[in-house]
Amino acid sequence: MKIGILGGGLSGLVAGHVLAKDHEVVLFEKMPFLGGCLSSYHIDNYWIERFYHHCFSGDKQLFSLLRDLGLWDRLLWHKGSTGYYSNNSLYPLTTPMEILRWPELSLLEKARLALLTLSARKIDLAPLDDISAETYIVEHLGPRIYSAFFEPLLKSKFGKNRSHVSAAWLISRIAIRSDRGVAGEHLGYLNGGFHQIIDSLERSILEKGGKIQLQTPVTTLTKKNGRLVINDEAVDKVISTMPLSELGMTDRIAFPRNSVPGCRMHDSWDRT
């Protein structure tokens, strides 16, 4: 079977790595490099990541991939530290004692915040998609906890769009970061850079006979003679790892039928 993959980020490359073993794979990437958000700059003898990355101790799918690619022994663990700057002072907030000393919240407010952190993994996220993070925190923890603790974080990440961030996203992030000891978070880094994952996946696809087309944006996805056609390339199936917003901009897009973790597989299309 011939499978077309839209997007050369981590999801697209992993799909290609897995499927190229038994299928003919062709991957389309509009940028001149692979990796998407996990891509890196190559300057002289150095690799510099375009965005900061680390992993958490619960990222079991990533660990499985690292073992598969022979990169597991390059994973390093470091303790992360946290601090808040307020009232012209920098307050460390890594250990429980440092948090207790933080003057911006009362002891009761800190207890509420701790309770949310401990219970975040058990919260059903589905009902929270349509509730803003601000509304949820203000209603459940109080306005002071939102303004002193959460709003600065959301503002630094989302700016003026912070009021549109869903409570589901925020709670999921709290759940991920709740796996920490009294000395702080354990954060994983790949010795030599995360570009090694991208390079290994690219090499795997090519060695299995797959094709990777860089600087090739997908402009059309149509159906002809019972097959799907990406630009001018006929395939049997399509896996899209593109943002849904980009798919929605095309005249014809594929509808989900089957799926691969982290991807969307299609075998039919229609107008939107």
pLDDT tens digit string along 51-74? 988 998 888 999 999 999 999 999
Question: Residue 230 sits in which domain range?
Answer: 2-53+194-271
Looking at the 3D structure of the chain, how many domains does it have?
Answer: 2
- Looking at the DSSP bridge assignments, the partners of residue 164 are none
pTM, to two decimals? 0.76
Establish if 149 belongs to a structural domain: yes
Establish if 34 belongs to a structural domain: yes
Q: Are residues 164 and 218 in the same domain?
A: no
At residue 41, φ and ψ (nearest 5 deg) are: -90, 140
Taking the CB of residue 42, how many other CB atoms lie within 10 A of it? Answer: 11
Q: Are residues 98 and 168 in the same domain?
A: yes
Establish if 45 belongs to a structural domain: yes
Q: Are residues 170 and 250 in the same domain?
A: no
Establish if 77 belongs to a structural domain: no
Taking the alpha carbons of 37, 47, 62, 21 in that order, is the dihedral positive or negative?
positive
Taking the alpha carbons of 123, 125, 128, 132 in that order, is the dihedral positive or negative?
positive
* pLDDT, tens digit, 9 for 90 and up, residues 68-105: 999 999 999 988 888 888 888 899 888 888 888 999 99
